[in-house]
Amino acid sequence: MLKPQEERRLQAGHLWIFSNEVNVAATPLTAFTPGEHVQVRSSHDRFLGYAYVNPRTLISGRLLGRDPDYPPGKSLLVHRFKVALAMRERLYPAPFYRLAFGEADLLPGLVVDRYGSVLVAQIGTAGMEAMKGEILDALVKVIDPTAVLWKNDSSIRELEGLERYVETALGQVPDMVEVPEGGVVFRVPLAAGQKTGWYFDQAGNRALLARHAAGQRVLDVFSYAGSFGLQAARAGAAEVTCVDSSASALEAAAETAAANELEVELLKGDAFDMLEALHADRRRFDLVVIDPPAFIKRKKDHPKGLAAYRRLNQLAMQMLDRDGLLLSCSCSYHLGPGELTDSVQRAARHLGRFAQLIGVGAQAPDHPVHPAIEETRYLRAFLFRVVDSC
Ligand code: SAH
């Protein structure tokens, strides 16, 4: 049961219940086991929805459904997956996308990526972990996959008191799959890859970059498997350089380049150091993309993270030749969009240059935004033209 007035946010569409909103005298949180399913009731004892609870976390409950006739279980999950699938099938020409994006698909704590007939799922909360069997059953019913992998290895699971593991749920999960995007067939490692294997969220921004790539010298920093760089190469870039600290990511990029007959220079190392080294070598580029990992995972990381974004944008801009383009990305929800554009602006001033914002990118539609949950709007991508000041 909630305290008086605390149902308002849920009624406005949000899915989270914070521990201080619960009437713990009537319903002590400690009486619940992590992941337990409950009915959420207002202070007037009105049914608000079904949720799962974790007494260990600040977000002590997440709403699974508001219809009293559909308690959490396989049939609710089947319904959710069908609704999610309908949008992806409408928008995507081939079955390669994020099928379920947590809260924004009304499936709090669950992510499912689709690689043709293979699914890779990630559970982030105890409440979803408790429904693991039903999630698999529902996916089998809606998608009929040949293989499913649980990639339950994210560090956020520790906050929920969950172990981290990678486990085959169904069939034979291949080590590598092929993902077609932007005219390139990418070789993508699943179990050994990052996240679920592929960053589907950046697909639109990769297309944005490719549109400007013909004839250009392109630098793809934090390239992972060469996703931006190789699409730029396919679009006719004069030369492409990818930088990443992960040897296996660059190996995948090399395989993709060979299989697609594309040329790319692959540099392994810390991005900050590599950018300094390239600058010292007097290398110049016309198009630079920076797509770092989240430097601000939690609010308390903000000051340090912001400093890292500022430094990175300056190092990247330094590499740009006259009239070059910088695509500056961040997947840190806690970095406001204005803070990222401000970082670029400061970098420009520091270098005595002038930056113009000429394009704004977003997370791809298979990562929808839940308008009541700001945290689901996390990806920022800004395309700047950088000219010499006069
Ligand atoms: N641009 C990619 C996604 C990048 S994810 C895409 O669109 O698919 C972030 C990448 O940064 C990862 O591949 C990770 O290996 C790499 N990385 C993390 N820290 C790094 C560092 N300090 N220097 C270089 N690369 C780093």
- In the chain, where the domains are located: 8-65, 74-170, 176-388
Query: pLDDT confidence of 389, banded at 50, 70, 90?
Result: confident
Closest ligand 1 atom to residue 206 Cα is 7
Can 331 be counted among the known catalytic residues? Answer: yes
Q: What is the pLDDT of residues 106-147, one digit of tens each?
A: 999 999 999 999 999 999 999 999 999 999 999 999 999 999
Same fold, 74-170 and 176-388: no
Q: For the domain 176-388, what is the CATH superfamily, name and number?
A: Vaccinia Virus protein VP39 (3.40.50.150)
- Take atom 3 of ligand 1 and give the residue whose Cα is closest: 224
CATH of domain 74-170: 3.30.750.80
- Within 10 angstroms of residue 237's Cβ, the number of other Cβ atoms is 27
Share the mean pLDDT of the chain.
Answer: 97
CA distance 246 to 268: 7
Q: Is the pLDDT of residue 9 over 80?
A: yes
What is the average pLDDT across 88-110?
Answer: 98
Alpha-carbon distances of 390 from 70, 286, 330, 354, 387, rounded to whole Å: 65, 20, 30, 9, 9
Angle formed by the axes of helices 74-91 and 132-143, nearest 10°: 40
For residue 2, the 8-state DSSP code is B
- Among protein residues, the one with the nearest Cα to ligand 1's atom 21 is 270
Angle (nearest 5°) at CA 242 between 239 and 245: 165
Token pair in block for residue 218: 């392109």
Ligand 1 centroid vs 102 CA: distance in angstroms? 23
Tell me what the mean pLDDT of segment 143-167 comes to.
Answer: 96
* Residues in a beta bridge with 329: 381
The atom of ligand 1 lying closest to the CA of 244 is 25
Q: Are 246 and 194 in contact (CB under 8 A)?
A: yes
CA 381 to chain centre: 13
Considering the candidates 242, 329, 331, 390, report the single residue annotated as catalytic.
331
Q: How far is the CA of 225 from the centre of ligand 1 (A)?
A: 9
Distance CA 279, CA 296 (A): 26
- Which residue's alpha carbon is nearest to atom 15 within ligand 1? 246
Residue 66 has pLDDT above 90, yes or no: yes
Q: What 3-state class would DSSP assign to 367?
A: coil
Centre of ligand 1 from the C-alpha of residue 245, in Å = 7
Q: What is the pLDDT of residues 308-338, one digit of tens each?
A: 999 999 999 999 999 999 999 999 999 999 9
pLDDT at 250 over 80: yes
Residues 6+ apart with CB under 8 A from 187: 176, 178, 225, 252, 255, 256, 259
pLDDT of residue 390: 66
Superfamily of the domain at 8-65: PUA domain (2.30.130.10)
* Ligand 1 pocket, mutate which of 196, 206, 218, 224 (most atoms under 8 A from CB): 224
The predicted model gives 273-278 an average pLDDT of: 98
- Taking CA atoms, 278 is separated from 113, 282, 319, in Å, by 36, 6, 8
Nearest CA to ligand 1 atom 13: 224
150 near 166, Cβ under 8 Å? yes
Cα angle 369, 298, 12; round to 5: 35
For the CA of 329, the closest atom of ligand 1 is 1
218: left (phi over 0), alpha (psi -120 to 50) or beta: beta
Distance CA 333, CA 296 (A): 8
Which residue's alpha carbon is nearest to atom 16 within ligand 1? 222
Average pLDDT over residues 144-163: 96
pLDDT, mean of residues 208-228 = 98
State pLDDT tens for residues 281-307: 999 999 999 999 999 998 999 999 999
Q: Is the pLDDT of residue 246 over 70?
A: yes
Query: In this structure, what token pair is assigned to residue 118?
Result: 């293979």
Which residues form the pocket of ligand 1, taking CB atoms under 6 Å from any ligand atom? 194, 199, 202, 222-224, 227-228, 244-246, 249, 270-271, 291, 293
Q: How far is CA 174 from CA 27, 104, 129, in A?
A: 46, 29, 24
Ordered DSSP codes for 270-319: -HHHHHHHHHHTT--EEEEEE----S-SSGGGHHHHHHHHHHHHHHHHHT
Ligand 1 midpoint to CA 244 (Å) = 6
**CA 171 to ligand 1 centroid distance, Å:** 30
**Ligand 1 nearest-atom number relative to CA 205:** 7
Phi–psi pair at 276, nearest 5 degrees:
-60, -45
Q: What is the mean pLDDT of residues 79-96?
A: 98
Ligand 1: centre distance to CA 364 (Å): 19
